[in-house]
Amino acid sequence: MNENRNRVVLITGASSGIGQACANHLHQKGYRVYGTSRQARPHATGISKTEDIHSTAFEMIQMNVDYDDSVAQGVEFILDREGRLDVVVNNAGFGVAGSVEDTTIEEAKSQFETNFFGAVRLCRAALPIMRRQQSGYIVNISSGAGLISIPFQGMYSATKFALEGMTEALHMEVKPFDIHMVLIEPGDFRTKFTANRRKTVASQQNAVYLEKFTASLGVMEADETRGLSPIKIAHILEQIIETPSPRLRYLVGLSSGVAIILKKILPYRLSEWVLMKHYKLL
Ligand SMILES: NC(=O)c1ccc[n+]([C@@H]2O[C@H](COP(=O)([O-])OP(=O)(O)OC[C@H]3O[C@@H](n4cnc5c(N)ncnc54)[C@H](OP(=O)(O)O)[C@@H]3O)[C@@H](O)[C@H]2O)c1
């Protein structure tokens, strides 16, 4: 507990769901936790504590991972205050729903801006600090959809596949500096992710896909609503940052496990059939 008190943790997207559960849990365990939200009220320095808004006990700072300046400012604020940064959790994200044909380039870019480039921005801001310290953990919250693509979630899946690829490379690059890169791949979890999902404009108008899109989305929403509590991820995160040699990947939740087992053991055509059946495409 006392050792934890000196470890500084930054978690993006801590105003709800997985990020909030992780921030609360690590705060309770004695870590010095900074969570981020776009909604945090700026104060004189442009960064603020927002216990008043989110009534959380950990500290909340304003950060929009879509912008270089916002990420740099947030990291600088923590470094000025604490003089170190031990753990970064790239969690901020959302889902875009719609067939690939019904997703504009702008809609696709906005998905990548947050889910992929947001994590890249924070990795780039944190790495010089961690290299100087010769220690650190960067945990990227991926998804089961980063291992097996979900129909009508093509752009969301693409951001998570990209995150997986980037993290694999970074894992090798920063090993010599004793920096640990980790991927958590959640299955279905009960959070505001479902309510925050953005349907592309054309997906709600294009009759070509509408019926199957609606049916598939209904399955996803039901799976998520019946999903696990995000506290499970918080416990796994704690184990990861307490381990001197964490693995690269941690699958959490049944749906992630099933997805990867299916993809590994079945011929592709068969695993795709199972997926299409599950999402009511057949
Ligand atoms: N729930 C699931 O079943 C599930 C499964 C697999 C993976 N995941 C992944 O888990 C992560 C967390 O999702 P969740 O389920 O906890 O969803 P959530 O309850 O909707 O929380 C999303 C968080 O991300 C933040 N956020 C969104 N866009 C942001 C931006 N541009 N800059 C900074 N923060 C931003 C939100 O904060 P503000 O709006 O306050 O800024 C919020 O705190 C995501 O990366 C998601 O892809 C979730």
Note the pLDDT tens digit of each residue in 133-190.
999 999 999 999 999 999 999 999 999 999 999 999 999 999 999 999 999 999 999 9
Task: Give the residue-averaged pLDDT of 214-232.
Answer: 97
| Catalytic status, residue 255 | no
Ligand 1: centre distance to CA 189 (Å):
11
What's the pLDDT band for 255 if we cut at 50, 70, 90? confident
| Catalytic status, residue 15 | yes
CATH number of the domain within which 103 lies:
3.40.50.720
* The ligand 1 atom nearest the CA atom of 66: 31
Candidate of 94, 140, 188, 256 to mutate for ligand 1, largest count of ligand atoms within 8 Å of Cβ: 94
**Rounded to whole angstroms, how far apart are CA atoms 252 and 249?**
10
Q: Tell me what pLDDT residue 46 has.
A: 40
Q: Tell me what pLDDT residue 258 has.
A: 81
What's the pLDDT band for 41 if we cut at 50, 70, 90? low
Residue with CA closest to ligand 1 atom 20: 193
Whether 10 lines ligand 1, by a CB cut-off of 6 Å, is no
Whether 124 lines ligand 1, by a CB cut-off of 6 Å, is no
Whether 13 lines ligand 1, by a CB cut-off of 6 Å, is yes
Identified catalytic residue from 48, 70, 142, 216: 142
Candidate of 34, 91, 163, 229 to mutate for ligand 1, largest count of ligand atoms within 8 Å of Cβ: 91
Ligand 1: centre distance to CA 218 (Å):
20
Task: Give the residue-averaged pLDDT of 220-224.
Answer: 96
Model confidence at 253: pLDDT above 60: yes
Give the number of domains in the chain.
Answer: 1
Model confidence at 47: pLDDT above 60: no
What's the pLDDT band for 260 if we cut at 50, 70, 90? confident
Task: Give the residue-averaged pLDDT of 196-203.
Answer: 98
Ligand 1: centre distance to CA 94 (Å):
5
Q: Tell me what pLDDT residue 259 has.
A: 75
Model confidence at 48: pLDDT above 90: no
Task: Give the residue-averaged pLDDT of 93-121.
Answer: 98
Whether 132 lines ligand 1, by a CB cut-off of 6 Å, is no
| Catalytic status, residue 160 | yes
Model confidence at 44: pLDDT above 50: no
Whether 277 lines ligand 1, by a CB cut-off of 6 Å, is no
pTM (predicted TM-score): 0.95
Task: Give the residue-averaged pLDDT of 205-214.
Answer: 96
Identified catalytic residue from 31, 34, 137, 156: 156
Q: Which residue has the higher pLDDT, 88 or 54?
A: 88
Q: Where in the sequence is the domain holding 240, given as residue range(s)?
A: 2-278
Task: Give the residue-averaged pLDDT of 236-250.
Answer: 98
Percent of the chain surpassing pLDDT 70: 93
Task: Give the residue-averaged pLDDT of 261-270.
Answer: 90
